[in-house]
Amino acid sequence: MADEEQNENVEETTVAPEAEAAEETAAPEATAGASVPQLAPKERRQQARAAKAAKVGTRSAQTIEDRQAERAAKRAKNAARRRTLRAKAREAAKATPRGEPTPPREHGEGRQKLRQGVVISDKADKTITVRIDMARRHRRYEKIVRSSTTLHAHDESNDANAGDTVIIRESRPLSRLKRWRLVEVVERAK
C-alpha cells in the first residue's frame, strides 16, 4: 500500500509540470481576448531598448574580419554608385550648350555706375533726391526682398521734378551728400 501511494505521488509530480505549462499557454490567450492595459511610455522605451539589444547581441556573433569585409563591400558598392552618378553629371554638363558670355561688370576702373530711380524731392537748388528701388532674391530663403535707398544727385538746370523717373551717374564728391549727377529724365511725372 505504501508503494502504491508513492507511485501516485510520483504520477502527480510528473503531471503537475505539464498542467502548469498548459495553464501558461492558456493564460496569454485569455489575456489576448481581454483588454490589455497600455504600457507607460517609459516601459515601452525599455522594452524597445531590450529588443534592440537582443538584435545587436546576435550580430556580435560575427567575427571582426566578417564585419570588416561587410563594411568594405558596402563602401565599394557606394563608391561605384557615386562614380556612375558623377559620370552622368559630367556627360549632362557637356551636352548642355554654354550660355552667352556674361556682360562686362557695371563698375570697373574708369567706368561710373548708373542707377535709375524716381525723384522724391527737388526742393533744393540744383539738387534732386532720388529713390532707388531694388528687388533681389534672398540667398538662403529665396524670397524676393525689396529695399530702397536714397541718393542725392546734381541737377545743373533744375530739369527734373518730383515723381520723374531719371537716370543718374556716379561722379566725384560735389558736396557733403552729393556723389551723383543727373544724366537724363526717362519719364516725366503725370
Q: Report the b/e string of 19-35 with b at 16+ CB within 10 A.
A: eeeeeeeeeeeeeeeee
**Domain count of the fold of the chain:** 2
Residues 72 and 124 in one domain: no
Same domain, 181 and 119: yes
- Asked if residue 153 and residue 124 are part of one domain, the reply reads yes
Asked if residue 182 and residue 143 are part of one domain, the reply reads yes
Residue 23 lies in a domain: no
Specify if 79 maps to a domain. Answer: yes
Residues 84 and 118 in one domain: no
- Is residue 19 assigned to a domain? no
- CB neighbour list of residue 172: distance below 8 Å, 6 or more residues apart: 179
Domain assignment of residue 107, yes or no: no
The tens-digit pLDDT sequence of the chain (190 residues) is 555 555 555 455 444 444 444 444 444 444 455 566 788 999 999 999 988 888 766 656 778 999 999 999 999 999 999 999 999 999 988 887 776 666 666 667 788 999 999 999 999 999 999 999 999 999 999 999 999 999 999 999 999 999 999 999 999 999 999 999 999 999 999 8
Task: Report if residue 30 sits inside a domain.
Answer: no
Does residue 169 belong to any structural domain of this protein? yes
Contact residues for 128 (Cβ-Cβ < 8 A; gap 6+): 119, 121, 122, 152, 153, 155, 160, 166, 182
65: containing domain: 61-94
Contacts of 70 (CB under 8 A, 6+ apart): 62
Based on the domain organization, do 172 and 120 belong to the same domain? yes
Q: What is the per-residue pLDDT across 119-146, written as a single tens digit (0 to 9) for each? A: 999 999 999 999 999 999 999 999 999 9
Contact 119, 166 (CB under 8 A): yes
CATH, residue 126: 2.40.50.140
Same domain as 179, residue 135: yes
